[in-house]
Chains A and B, each alone.
Chain A
Amino acid sequence: EVHLVESGGALVQPGGSLRLSCAASGFTFSTHRMNWVRQAPGKGLEWVSYISSSGSTIYYADSVRGRFTISRDNAKNSLYLQVNSLRAEDTAVYYCARYVADSGDYSDFWGQGTLVTVSS
């Protein structure tokens, strides 16, 4: 059974940093692309970042480019999101999601999310 567990969310001051983690199990992590998607309180889903299976291809949403860094460690079955220069508008639940790219591109399994709150 596919299992994704996020961690690392916390209350942080504006300008601060965090490292979010996503532990994957139940599938061959090294052969799957992955995404981070966030959801601000009471708002819709917002895609944050994508990473290919090897880590060689990475994309970011315009709202986070230059501040957030996605990475992965296939030996540890783990996905990461380094979030820097945090702003109030980055407050959200951050989900990691397994990404499938066949005839379409979609996320077939999601973790339960980790909450990042940016406030002074």
Chain B
Amino acid sequence: GAVVSQHPSWVICKSGTSVKIECRSLDFQATTMFWYRQFPKQSLMLMATSNEGSKATYEQGVEKDKFLINHASLTLSTLTVTSAHPEDSSFYICSAPGTPYEQYFGPGTRLTVT
């Protein structure tokens, strides 16, 4: 099946700094990618839809100035958490749709803000 990678798998940053997470489709092109956040023992919450060559669409309640999304090519979308705070510590997962019934998920990035 199609492969989606994320980098880094785990990042620790200090409060107030920014961190960038990359999501790549390795063997297919993705005009759309999704970014999710998952807190411990909770489900995946969709944060935004990333569209190649256009602005991302954010879900209600997600601060677009804090979570910057760039989908500059058909294989790469990036999520930048700006001015990170401890409450932003979470597991961030990206995905790309394949068939109508399947999304290919990345392995996730664990963000810890100290």
Are A and B co-members of a single complex?
no
